[in-house]
Amino acid sequence: MVKRRQVVKTLRDAGFYPDAGKGHEHWTDGVRWTQVPRHAEISEQLFEKIKKQAGLK
């Protein structure tokens, strides 16, 4: 499990910023986007999917 804080830090370091969302935050860099659930911890598998959607992997 990965802390949500680490996921947010990874996205911010890559130039992403929160755009909108209710149950999930939408993060974008102006071209690509991904969603981050509002949970305290996120599974490793989901973290890998988020990074892939963001083009970080």
Contacts of 20 (CB under 8 A, 6+ apart): 26
Q: Give pLDDT tens digits for 9-52.
A: 999 999 999 988 788 999 999 999 999 999 999 999 999 999 99
How open is the CA angle 25-52-1, to the nearest 5 degrees? 65
Q: Look up the domain containing 18 and give its range.
A: 11-53
The reported pLDDT for the residue numbered 17 is 95
Token representation of residue 46: 């989901």
Give a yes or no: residue 21 inside a domain.
yes
User: How far apart are the C-alpha atoms of 54 and 27, rounded to whole Å?
Assistant: 9
How open is the CA angle 42-18-4, to the nearest 5 degrees? 20
User: What's the domain count of the chain?
Assistant: 1
Give a yes or no: residue 4 inside a domain.
no
The reported pLDDT for the residue numbered 23 is 84
The reported pLDDT for the residue numbered 3 is 96
The reported pLDDT for the residue numbered 20 is 84
Confidence of residue 6 (pLDDT cuts 50, 70, 90): very high
Checking if the pLDDT of 57 tops 90, the result is no
